[in-house]
Amino acid sequence: FKENRKDDIWLVDFYAPWCGHCKKLEPVWNEVGLEMKNMGSPVKVGKMDATSFSSIASEFGVRGYPTIKLLKGDLAYNYRGPRTKDDIIEFANRVAGPLIRPLPSQHLFEHVQKRHRVLFVYVGGESPLKEKYIEVASELIVYTYFFSASEDVLPEYVTLPELPAVVVFKDGTYFVYDEYEDGDLSSWINRERFQGYLNVDGFTLYELGDTGKLVAIAVIDDKNSSVEHTR
């Protein structure tokens, strides 16, 4: 595995036999492997006892169990989301695919926009900004998709002050990255990859904490949304 794994893309569950969370993940992991095989995915799904192969686990920075990583070439991407079949498969397909996905037509742009609540798009030709966008994508592809398009593919309501540009579409509107006002592109994308209002679970709250954003949380009783049951 260590010698040949760079020839393929691997989604690996590093586990310990005594780990309760690992045992809980096992049936989900079996479903992930079966569905990705049926999909014809190029991603190979496997698992490794990190206590028996501790040197390999250590090489990939495994510190706890279970740890899910996608191995692609020289890179190892950590999965930190919910341990559900659909979430794990979505992560694998996103990271295993192209780093930047082109949107060559208005029809495809509209289709993708309907599927993604938050959509990052680079607009323009070759530039230092594009190089930075690719660099940020390699870092944050574990969290979100990255796209590119020409200006004529964008919706008519979009007005860009200049090209090239990085645009995020979310919450029914769009925002254009401004280096002078928004600072580092990586930090801006990390902040903007969330909707303005969203349901928060343990994983989302953890990710929000990494962005440095100020977060206002409303605690709501799903069965009773009156003011008296909202904090």
Q: Which residues, 6 or more positions from 124, have their beta carbon under 8 angstroms from its beta carbon?
A: 130, 151, 163, 164, 165
Tell me which of 19, 56, 76, 134 is the catalytic residue.
19
Tell me which of 16, 22, 71, 100 is the catalytic residue.
22
Residue 141, helix vs strand vs coil:
coil
CA distances 18 to 23, 33, 63, 153, Å, are 8, 22, 15, 53
Q: Which residues, 6 or more positions from 65, have their beta carbon under 8 angstroms from its beta carbon?
A: 14, 15, 16, 19, 21, 22, 50
Which helix H or strand E contains 44, and what residues bound it?
strand 43-49
Per-residue HEC secondary structure of 188-222 comes to HHHHHCCCCCCCCCHHHHHHHHHHCCCCCCCCEEC
* 51 flagged as catalytic: no
- For 42, the token pair is 């190029």
- For 7, the token pair is 């020839």
* 46 flagged as catalytic: no
Q: Which residues are catalytic?
A: 19, 22
